[in-house]
């Protein structure tokens, strides 16, 4: 029997009583999906999973998603490694707040990350609830933002001069990152994004991938985004997840932003990740749905 233990924070829960290495029946999958939608990020501890198990479980939750700037592992076209070796000197991967691949025309619904080799200390992942952050904005500010669109791009991370570009390759990063000029492209998405399954509105911007606000001068746009970025990472919106070996983490990119942390210098860390595509395209919030 599935047991769900909420974290007590604005998002996050642990799910026990389920073995993800075996095929799941429809009722169990429905319960997992309900927990995922309710809590935003759910952890499944004490799982012994193969790559094939991870592929089967995630495919039951939604279509395969794309990972445009990370090469997959051999033989598994939709599985990537989040890897760091003990002596690695490059900056921690993904330590800037972001929603995975929000610069895509249709950003992914979710991400599943499995802890294959975990260090004994450090490596926590921070999650901030965009829905709680939106709800906490003053009504006047929500009214100003409700019809705005933000400019998303991968350029800060994956362009040739980005964080993971040509200079990063020279640092000897162990991950199979593929930077390129495609990262310069931009895409517009609503600042106030209505969740396609729950209807709840979330603040959908991040310092990792949001570079502007449509229709605003550069300085005004930058000032507004700085204020929103500071707001969305306030402690009351954040859940700090602590990893353990054999743990699977599943999160909702439509509601959350997240950031990696370090603190495990001298230890190897290896996780396997699959991106889950959205079942329906992103759309602006319908009139009257943003409160």
Catalytic residue list: 98, 100, 258, 273
The sign of the CA dihedral 89, 90, 93, 96 is positive
**Rounded Cα distance, 126 and 218, in Å:** 29
Contacts of 178 (CB under 8 A, 6+ apart): 69, 70, 71, 158
Is residue 258 a contact partner of residue 107, using CB atoms and an 8 Å limit? no
Pairing of strands 186-190, 41-44: unpaired
CA dist 125 and 262 (Å) reads 9
**CA–CA separation, 151 and 192 (whole Å):** 13
Q: Phi and psi of 192, rounded to 5°?
A: -105, 100
Which phi and psi (to 5°) does residue 20 adopt?
-80, -5
Question: Any idea which residue has 């700037």 for tokens?
Answer: 69
Taking the mean position of all CA atoms in its chain, how far away is CA 98? 6
Beta partners for residue 188, in sequence order: 151
Burial class (CB in 10 A: 0-12, 13-18, 19+), 242: exposed
Q: Where are the alpha helices (DSSP H) in the chain?
A: 26-39, 51-61, 130-136, 139-145, 155-158, 166-170, 218-232
């Amino acid at each position: 029997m599935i047991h769900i233990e909420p974290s007590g924070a604005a998002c996050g829960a642990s799910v026990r009583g389920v073995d993800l290495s075996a095929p799941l029946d429809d009722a169990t999958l429905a319960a997992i999906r309900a927990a995922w939608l309710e809590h935003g990020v759910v952890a499944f501890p004490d799982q012994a999973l193969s790559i094939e198990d991870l592929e089967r479980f995630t495919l039951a939750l939604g279509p395969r998603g794309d990972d445009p700037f990370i090469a997959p592992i051999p033989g598994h076209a939709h599985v990537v490694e989040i890897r760091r070796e003990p002596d690695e000197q490059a900056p921690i991967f993904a330590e800037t707040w972001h929603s995975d691949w929000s610069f895509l025309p249709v950003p992914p619904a979710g991400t599943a990350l499995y802890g294959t080799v975990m260090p004994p200390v450090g490596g926590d992942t921070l999650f901030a609830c965009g829905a709680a952050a939106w709800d906490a904005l003053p009504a006047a500010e929500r009214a100003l933002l409700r019809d705005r669109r933000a400019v998303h791009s991968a350029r800060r991370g994956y362009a040739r001069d980005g964080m993971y570009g040509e200079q990063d390759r020279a640092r000897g990063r162990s991950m199979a990152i593929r930077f390129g000029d495609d990262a310069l492209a931009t895409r517009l998405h609503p600042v106030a994004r209505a969740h396609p399954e729950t209807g709840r509105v979330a603040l959908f911007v991040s310092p990792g991938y949001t570079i502007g606000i449509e229709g605003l001068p550069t300085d005004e746009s930058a000032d507004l985004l700085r204020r929103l970025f500071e707001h969305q990472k306030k402690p009351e919106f954040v859940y700090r997840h602590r990893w353990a070996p054999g743990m699977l983490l599943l999160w909702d990119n439509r509601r959350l932003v997240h950031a990696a942390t370090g603190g495990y210098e001298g230890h190897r860390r290896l996780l396997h990740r699959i991106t889950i595509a959205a079942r329906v395209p992103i759309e602006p919030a319908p009139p009257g749905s943003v409160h």
